[in-house]
Structure 1
Amino acid sequence: MDYRDRYVQGKGKYIDDLKFDDMLYMDVVRSPYGRAKISNVKGGLNASELKLFYKSSMGEMASLGGSSNSVYLEPVFAIDRVNYEGQAVAAVFGKTRYEAEDLLNSVSVEYEPLDAVSSIESGLESDPIHEGTKDNILAKAELGEDFDDNDVDFDLTLEDEFFNERIIANSMETRGCIAIYRDSMLTFYVSTQSVQSVKAGLAQALKLKPEQVRVIQADTGGAFGVKGSFYPEYVMAAYASMKYGKPVKWIETRTEHLQAAYPGRGARAKIKIYARNDGKITGIKGDVYVDAGAYDAGTGSFASRFIAYQITGPYNIEKAYMRAFSVLTNKAPMGPYRGAGRPEAAFFMERMMDLLADRLQMDISEVRLANASTEPFTSPTGLTITEPTRPFLEKALEAVNYRKVSREEKTGLAFFVLIPASRPGESARIDVTDGKVVAQLGGNVHGQGHELFVKDILGNSLQVEQDIISLSNGDTSLMESGVGSWGSRTAIAGASALMAVAEKIKQQVIGKYGKYSPEKLLSGNYSAFEFQKLDYDVNSVNFNMITAERDSNNTVRMKDWYSYYDLGHVLSPVNVIAQITGGALEGVGQMFSESLRYSEDGQLMTTSITDAGVLAADYAPNLHIKWVENGSPAPDKAKGLGEAPTIGTPAALARAIELVTRNRVKNTPIKLEDLAKL
């Protein structure tokens, strides 16, 4: 079946489409409080039976951060206290979904509400939310070397503060899984970005041998990062199947998604720059804080350092010193959302660039050109820029006709770095049977259209028709290893692995017949696997320009959206346009309306997808998509893409909006009262 039939025509098999005989349906009793003691739980499966902890399985991202203190790890079910609204307290199981929902009332929980920590500021000031800890700092780091005013050449300094509110992914399909434990073997169907990390998490949490766990990816209806994490509900369902000897299904409701899935963003920064009158920034200092939520899961402990690491972006700034803090609050743990730290860093830096341009009465492009470099460089925080950034920026400004557009329109710019999560590489597998070519990638497809470049690569390399090529969902029984699909990595790492496997297949045919031909390939059965190692960075610089206007209804809207991206080598132009379009729309949503909001007592005020601020299609701008291909060192020459529009859109749109409203934009989403001012 063609992927368009599966995803667009609704003919695929999502988790909720899968049914097994004698299946139980799981529903979860969740805390109504942001923080409370639990004095008693009666009924359902709960912590009295299942006192297991799990660690996040975020692959490369998780390995870069995290705490060794087990008190910070989220229990599968709350033990003694709950630390965010929506935290799991117990689970019930019915023969139908409706029976399971009714059984929620059979569980009795006695709570003693406590004062909740509802913001980064209160987290820094309040007593620890976890007993036995000294404060609410989950992780902290210093990047670069500290300096004082005598160490830097400057004519002026500027300071400002910024905040990006939390955002949840709200993909079309919510989270879900089916666990089947039979004959000492756990088969686990899941909507995920990485079958390998789910397998590792289940084996660890349930103390199973890896060979006892098989994870199969069902068709996955969107993810945007939220399905890259490992969640308590997976352990609940698997344990219940082991206990009851029946298949167990769990499908997340939209309310549960807002409460308990891991949101991204939630970052605050205080930035100070030192600059000369010619626009050159000679130093930058700042503090970055992220709302890590209640536990060390997802990306909470890593995100603040990752933002601080890339704060200088594509600009060659001689001195930089950043402090990074991941702060515990009584909210769901922080996870990745499309960009995962990259949009936050670009927003903070680009907003300071615009502030400097205004202070010096310089054009916003000239300030950026003054700080771009004619040589590759490494920033004081360790960010490597492998290509000159000024020539690229000059070409980008010319390509989008900036001089003319900015004279006629309210125009914003964003110049930024995309750091793909290409390390340590990725895996791929190809099976040829019955005249068909079936591929599988270690990074699982969840709506990005990977099928397009898979067909192009294998059609060209194996010299076969594309209609006999298909991309299957992830299955750990067929893949020796793999990482996952996130961080703009799959076109770089996954496609490179696929090319290597295709060459292995060709060599198998040559070894059998002495030469290769597609006819000889399709007449036999062949199989090959490869993990393509990538131990280097594939960073790229990119550019956005955006115009905004106030329409006849006095509403501020984006008008035109321009891109000039360095994509290395484009594997599929159709896929590129689709990825850019979707990412741009998510960036618009972050800027205008999307967020998760909490009351001072930790209650989630965003109670529906409408409250979450997901925009209607009429907010879509006119897209002007351009790119350049400067090949990367990866085998397939590709560079990252998927996150680029969500990095550049908020930063550029913020400037365009403030020119329309005459109000400085420092937060996302922008407040309605600021949009209304003239």
Structure 2
Amino acid sequence: MTYLDRFANGKGRYLDDIKLDNMLYMSVVRSPYARAKIRSVEGGLTSKDLKAYYTIAEGDHREPVLAIDEVNYQGQAVAAVFGKNRYEAEDLLSTVTVDYDPLEAISSIDDAKKKAPIYPDRKDNVLAVEDVGVKFSEKDIDYDVKITDTILLDRVSANPMETRGIVADYRDGILNVYLPSQSIVRSKTGIVKSLGLPPEKVRVFLIDNGGAFGVKALFYPEYIIACYASMKYGKPVKWQETRTEHLQACHAGRGVEGTLTLYAKKDGTVTGLDGEVLLDNGPYLVDAAAVDLGNVIHEVTGPYHIEKAHLTGKYVITNKAPNGYYRGAGKPEASILMERMMDLLADKLNMDIADIRLKNALEKPFKSPLGLEMRYPTKPFLEDALRYFNYRELAKKEHVGISLFILDEDTAPGESARIIVKDGKVHTYLGGNVSGQGHEMFVKSILSEELDIEQDSISLDLQDTETLPKGVGTWGSKSAMTHGSVLMQAAEELKKQVEKKYGKYSPEILLSHDFDQTSFYNFDYNDNQVNFNIVTSKINEMGDFEYLKIGAYYDLGKVLNLANVMGQTEGGALQAIGEVLSETLRYSEEGQLMTTSITDSGVLTAEHTPEFDIKIVENPSVLKDGAKGLGESPMIGIPEGLARSLETQIHKRINVMPISRELLFDSL
């Protein structure tokens, strides 16, 4: 099957295409309250059945698979019902009776600061605190100017075309799971750990995935409910959430409030950074939250030489669904906080926004006090980017915003791949999973070149945890880097197999016999790179764009597939623009979600696509295929550039995203 047939002509195999005999359809009874005591639950599968089961995060405040005695966000799973089809399952929801005692909810970070702790073992609404860097006093640094600002990046839901779902099929003592996931190996680990099953009794199958953006790298209560129910009832169980359920209960990204102070000399040299970053954590400890906040507080210094820096990060309890990954997972937040402060410092010192960045950019590799190890100088890259876009002339006549940022790719610990040659065809399996990025394109080009065979004989197939037991996953802008490198390694090892058995390698020998090669490419640190965005725009008196232009100056190492590069950049740009203008999750004071449809949540359409000027720089990485990351770059660099471009037109500081329509309209 061709790539076009599979993804454009509707011949792929998605979750809703899986239909098994005697399958039950699961619907979930969800809390209508953001916070409440549960007096009783009558009907359906409840915590009486699954009381021992929790999601896989460690700690005291883990989320139970089904609520026990209390609910702490609207949409939390309380019970599950099962019908012969989806309509029957939805009807059965009305057969479950839940008696709630509503409690006062915490609807925001600001709310959490003011209200009493929701947990009796806490002195405040903070689940955990993390300090990075070294504390310093003002007398310890040399500075002329001190600026402070608070920047709020509101919660955003990743909204893939296909919502979350699972099919669990327990038969013959084996739990078979079909899952659109960014890592079926990680998902298997979660199932094994949560249900206490032997690993050999669980087999997870990857199916086609209608988008992910981070949310399908996570592990959810509904997965465990479906697996448990299949084991209990001896039938396959399918669950697919509605869009409203997705917005209510899927782990959301962003939700960060940073209060930063910069200390600087009159010439713009930043001598110190201090501050506090608060994460809208939700009520439960989730592994993803540690990644998100960790990325923010470790990466804030970004591409700049700042000798003294200290940040405190706090996981703030709110009555919302838990915090999770959204494209970038803390990296965009870190860059937005820093770049918005650099713009503010430039204004304070009456300096050009490019000059303030040039003054502080790195001339050699640097490890920041916060722990970020920048492996490449950033000043020469910035100088080249400014020249390419003719920034000095452009800034005289346009409303321009820029960003210099790092992309810290999640290359460690590497990745796996398997190549099976059978019946004249080369079947490829990757440890990380496909969710629309076009992996098949670079798989075919790499193996065609490495093995000297036609691309038509190569396929990228969907794996399972038996076909490829070891794998990492697809996230962190690393697919081209680690997948490409492990494919090259596997191809080399496959050729050695052929040479050892037949005395020499040739494509004809390879394709006329059967071979099987599994490889793991080891990489022991996360690589990173420097990139640049420039945004020019003009809005009319109604706050609508007359034009919006985005320039990208990205170092991609060795480009594996140009079509992939353009698609990733343009698609990511539209998401980034949405975060600035409209995309968010809104809650009432009672913690009720007000953005209950994809339209309400502010997702932009193709009519908002800007003009692009994309310049690719190729400085090969140290990985085997020479590639560098891309996927998260537009999300990291474009929001702050767009905010600055708009700021110069409305003449008001933009320190909240998304910005309100009223702010744009009232300022014009």
- TM bucket (normalised to shorter chain) is over 0.9
Instruction: Tell me how far 1:109 sits from its aligned partner.
Output: 0.4
Matched residue type, 1:602? G
User: Does residue 1:275 correspond to 2:278, yes or no?
Assistant: no
Q: What corresponds to 2:653 in structure 1?
A: 664
Q: What corresponds to 1:197 in structure 2?
A: 186
Instruction: Tell me how far 1:557 sits from its aligned partner.
Output: 6.0
Q: What corresponds to 2:637 in structure 1?
A: 648
For residues 486-525 of structure 1, the aligned pairs below 5 Å read 486-525=475-514
TM-score (ref. length: structure 2): 0.98
Structure 2 vs 1, CA of residues 552 and 134 (structure 1 numbering), >3 Å: closer, same or farther? Answer: closer
Give ranges in structure 1 of 5+ residues lacking alignment.
57-65
Q: What corresponds to 2:28 in structure 1?
A: 28
> How many Å separate the matches in 2 of 1:480 and 1:96?
33
Q: Does structure 1 conserve the Cα–Cα contact (< 8 Å) formed by 2:291 and 2:330?
A: no
Q: Does structure 1 conserve the Cα–Cα contact (< 8 Å) formed by 2:55 and 2:64?
A: no
Q: What corresponds to 2:137 in structure 1?
A: 148
Instruction: Tell me how far 1:135 sits from its aligned partner.
Output: 3.2
Q: Which of 398, 417, 424 is equivalent to 1:428?
A: 417
Instruction: Tell me how far 1:139 sits from its aligned partner.
Output: 2.2
Q: Which of 148, 155, 164 is equivalent to 1:166?
A: 155
Q: What corresponds to 1:63 in structure 2?
A: none
Q: What corresponds to 1:394 in structure 2?
A: 383
> How many Å separate the matches in 1 of 2:424 and 2:393?
56
Q: Does structure 1 conserve the Cα–Cα contact (< 8 Å) formed by 2:166 and 2:223?
A: yes
Q: What corresponds to 2:404 in structure 1?
A: 415
> How many Å separate the matches in 1 of 2:607 and 2:71?
41
> How many Å separate the matches in 2 of 1:432 and 1:284?
56
Instruction: Tell me how far 1:24 sits from its aligned partner.
Output: 0.5
> How many Å separate the matches in 2 of 1:276 and 1:188?
59
Q: What corresponds to 1:249 in structure 2?
A: 238
Matched residue type, 2:46? N
Q: What corresponds to 1:442 in structure 2?
A: 431
Q: Does structure 2 conserve the Cα–Cα contact (< 8 Å) formed by 1:31 and 1:88?
A: yes
Structure 2 vs 1, CA of residues 178 and 654 (structure 1 numbering), >3 Å: closer, same or farther? Answer: same
Q: Does structure 1 conserve the Cα–Cα contact (< 8 Å) formed by 2:53 and 2:195?
A: no
Q: What corresponds to 1:38 in structure 2?
A: 38
Greater displacement, 556-565 / 245-254: 556-565
- 2:293 aligned counterpart, secondary structure: helix
Q: What corresponds to 2:456 in structure 1?
A: 467
Q: Does structure 2 conserve the Cα–Cα contact (< 8 Å) formed by 1:598 and 1:605?
A: yes
Instruction: Tell me how far 1:561 sits from its aligned partner.
Output: 0.3
> How many Å separate the matches in 1 of 2:40 and 2:249?
22
> How many Å separate the matches in 2 of 1:396 and 1:330?
44
User: Does residue 1:620 correspond to 2:609, yes or no?
Assistant: yes
Matched residue type, 2:318? T
Instruction: Tell me how far 1:303 sits from its aligned partner.
Output: 2.2
For residues 325-340 of structure 1, the aligned pairs below 5 Å read 325-340=314-329
User: Does residue 1:560 correspond to 2:560, yes or no?
Assistant: no
Greater displacement, 309-318 / 123-132: 123-132
Q: Does structure 2 conserve the Cα–Cα contact (< 8 Å) formed by 1:274 and 1:281?
A: yes
- 1:478 aligned counterpart, secondary structure: coil
Give ranges in structure 2 of 5+ residues lacking alignment.
none
> How many Å separate the matches in 2 of 1:134 and 1:552?
49
Matched residue type, 2:361? A
Instruction: Tell me how far 1:131 sits from its aligned partner.
Output: 4.2
Matched residue type, 2:162? E
Instruction: Tell me how far 1:633 sits from its aligned partner.
Output: 1.5
> How many Å separate the matches in 2 of 1:482 and 1:491?
15
Structure 2 vs 1, CA of residues 474 and 8 (structure 1 numbering), >3 Å: closer, same or farther? Answer: same
Q: Identity over the aligned pairs, expressed in percent?
A: 53
> How many Å separate the matches in 2 of 1:538 and 1:91?
43
The one-character-per-residue Cα deviations of 1:327-348 (angstroms, maximum 9, x if unpaired) are 1111101110001101111111
- 1:485 aligned counterpart, secondary structure: coil
The one-character-per-residue Cα deviations of 1:388-424 (angstroms, maximum 9, x if unpaired) are 1100100011112212222221000010011111111
Matched residue type, 1:286? G
The one-character-per-residue Cα deviations of 1:277-320 (angstroms, maximum 9, x if unpaired) are 11111111110011111111252234223201111110001111
Greater displacement, 421-430 / 35-44: 421-430
Q: Does structure 2 conserve the Cα–Cα contact (< 8 Å) formed by 1:291 and 1:300?
A: no
> How many Å separate the matches in 2 of 1:301 and 1:374?
31
TM-score (ref. length: structure 1): 0.97
The one-character-per-residue Cα deviations of 1:168-193 (angstroms, maximum 9, x if unpaired) are 11110111110000011010001111
> How many Å separate the matches in 2 of 1:665 and 1:418?
24
Matched residue type, 1:191? P
Matched residue type, 1:492? M
Q: What corresponds to 2:582 in structure 1?
A: 593
The one-character-per-residue Cα deviations of 1:201-253 (angstroms, maximum 9, x if unpaired) are 11111111111111011110000001110111111111111011111100110
The one-character-per-residue Cα deviations of 1:95-120 (angstroms, maximum 9, x if unpaired) are 01110010000000000000111111
Matched residue type, 1:326? Y
> How many Å separate the matches in 1 of 2:227 and 2:566?
39
Indicate the RMSD between aligned Cα atoms, in angstroms: 1.3
The one-character-per-residue Cα deviations of 1:423-452 (angstroms, maximum 9, x if unpaired) are 111111111111111111111000011111
Aligned length: 667
User: Does residue 1:112 correspond to 2:123, yes or no?
Assistant: no
> How many Å separate the matches in 1 of 2:600 and 2:39?
33
User: Does residue 1:72 correspond to 2:61, yes or no?
Assistant: yes
Matched residue type, 1:169? A
Matched residue type, 2:160? S
